[in-house]
Amino acid sequence: MALVVTGEQAGLFATGGTVCSGRVGEVSDRQTIRLTCTQGKDKRGTGTVDSVSATTLKVTWDGGLGEETYTKAESGQMPSGLPTAGLGS
């Protein structure tokens, strides 16, 4: 799974074909990620950023999924093999 954040834009790509896009913003003095997924309702629709360091991002997702920790990709490059939505298929 990959969570990509560039400025106020966010995208999530997961094995199984889940592709989500959305925005990052501030709600009640907390950074929040709001995503819309191509495969309907997803457990990662809305998340609150718990902490950010040089190498990790911790997000607590609403909807029962709970906390996930994402690790910064080496050299800022996306890992290979991520699913795509309708690209070339």
As a whole number of angstroms, the distance between CA 34 and CA 88 comes to 27
Give me 7's structure tokens: 């400025």
Q: What is the pLDDT of residues 54-84, one digit of tens each?
A: 889 999 999 778 899 998 887 767 666 665 6
Confidence of residue 89 (pLDDT cuts 50, 70, 90): very low
Spell out the domain ranges in the chain: 2-74
For 30-84, the DSSP string reads: EEEEEEEETTSS-TTSEEEEEEE-SSEEEEEETTTTEEEEEEPPGGGPPPSS---
| pLDDT score recorded for residue 78 | 66
As a whole number of angstroms, the distance between CA 33 and CA 5 comes to 9
Mean pLDDT of 18-47: 87
